[in-house]
Amino acid sequence: MTSRNSKRLLVLCVSLALASGCAVGPTYRRPDTPVPAAFREAPGWKAASPADDASRGAWWEAFGDPVLNNLESQVAGANQTLRQAAAAYEEAREIARADRGTLLPDIAAVGSADRTHPSGAGGGAPVTSNAFSAALQGTWSPDFWGRIRRQVESDVTAAQASAADLAAARLSTQGLLAQDYIAIRASDEKRRLLHNAVEAYARTLSIVKNKYAVGVAARSDVISAQALLDSERAQEIDVGVQRSVLEHAVAVLVGSLPSDFSLGPQPAFTLGVPAVPGRLPSEILERRPDVAAAERSVAAANARVGVQTAAYFPDITLSAEGGYSGSPLDRLFTAPFRMWSLGANASETLLDFGQRRAQLQEAHAAYDGAVAGYRQTVLTAFQQVEDNLAALRILGEEAGVQEIAVSEASSAARIAENEYRAGTEDFTYVVSAQITEVSDRLTALGILQSRLADSVALIEATGGGWRSSDLPDRGQIMKRRSADPASVAAPR
């Protein structure tokens, strides 16, 4: 090949490479979604101050419970559901890396050795011949129309969606652990309340028995007092069933066998309803990992439209080979045996009976579905925030009223017992007052548990301190392997 021809070939290759910089298909734009100016259930909520995000990953610390803090720290590394989600992200990442490799040429080393011995049917003496070859072969399909780059774009955004799914699974698992832990501590407090009631009923039974012994109380009073005591004992024992189930659930969440895990009761119920930092509605779109996953899925679907659009354009493949061919072997790698070849081929489908059109329409339909799914996810996110804001507001009002009811019921129970001792009231009055007090205390505990649970739900609904900027970028996705897949898209 002459120097001029070599230069022409070089210019042609560079031109082809530059031409491959275009990519057909629609340019991605995030779909519009309705965003309210303020939350209806908390119109006074404002954007959080920077201090609110100082430890935005460890949102559970707002409950001030060291045991809960320790359990939550174990979730990311030990929970098997999160490991599964992390593996799904790694799979999506490797798909992106594999498809990116198709942008570059394929280079192969080839070699052959043949030994031929003719039959000698022509009458002459057969001569055995040897033939050897060694060469490098290269093929390259320049991505003129951006089909491969659109596919890689789709893969990268799909991997980001998978990373957001991992973040959503992490937040959900942490929230579930907090909910179960709150329920365990509420069960412990319920058992304490019932135990106190059992002790109070035992004292009442003793009073009734003494009055019956001196003939100032009926036998029915003794039976009623005993029945009330036994009923409360049964309820106290029954609490253990739910607590055991919750304890087993927590064990699985932190990656332990239920038989190897134990969570002892605390001396008192210390969990308090935390103040959840306010968020503007527009921030929800950036702070919810499920919203980010849905948006990335839209971007991936948009890129796949470009992939199908590129199918309408011809495929062009360049090939080159250079090496040595001849015999004998000891002089193979010398100039006389050098050989090379260059080639190009193009193909274009002329008639496919509507296959490409159908595939393009399928991609458009998938994109429309992804947009609808994204918008529905956004609407659901705002609904969840409003639901939990309303629940916390209403439960807060209910808690204040219920505390008054507990105080009044406690006073009524004491008065009833004193009046019964004095003989001015019958025992049914005492029983009614005591049952009311226990019921009101359990109701107050249930309200507190609901407020704590709704606080966790509200934290989840506002993203738990997560931000879409925590998603891995293209460079991170294309790295050979993540150091810790479970930490992908974790709040930094």
Q: Which residues pair with 121 in a beta bridge?
A: none
pLDDT of residue 50: 43
Please state at what angle helix 66-78 crosses helix 80-100, rounded to 10 degrees. Answer: 40
Q: Identify whether the C-beta of residue 307 lies closer than 8 Å to the C-beta of residue 150.
A: yes
| pLDDT band, residue 197 (cuts 50/70/90) | very high
- Global pTM value: 0.85
**Measuring CA to CA, which residue among 425, 401, 402 is closest to residue 413?**
425
**Residue 21: per-residue pLDDT:** 56
Q: Assess whether pLDDT exceeds 50 at residue 39.
A: yes
Instruction: Average the pLDDT over each of 104-108, 131-135, 290-294, 312-316 and give the range with the smallest value.
Output: 131-135
For the chain, give the percent of residues with pLDDT over 90: 55
Enclosing H/E stretch for 318: strand 315-326
In this model, does residue 318 exceed pLDDT 90? no
Q: What is the pLDDT of residue 342?
A: 86
Task: Report the 10 Å Cβ neighbour count for 26.
Answer: 12
Residue (of 160, 119, 190, 177) closest to 471 by Cα position:
160
> For 40-53, how does the pLDDT look when each residue is reduced to its tens digit (9 = 90+)?
888 777 654 444 44
Q: What is the pLDDT of residue 483?
A: 56
Kindly report the CATH class assigned to 22-105+145-313+355-487. Answer: mainly alpha
Nearest to 300 by CA among 181, 111, 156: 156
Q: Is residue 132 within 8 Å of residue 327, measured between CB atoms?
A: yes
Residue 286 confidence (pLDDT) above 50: yes
Determine the pLDDT at residue 122. Answer: 58
Structure tokens at 101: 């490799």
2-6, 71-75, 180-184: which has the highest mean pLDDT? 180-184
The reported pLDDT for the residue numbered 175 is: 96
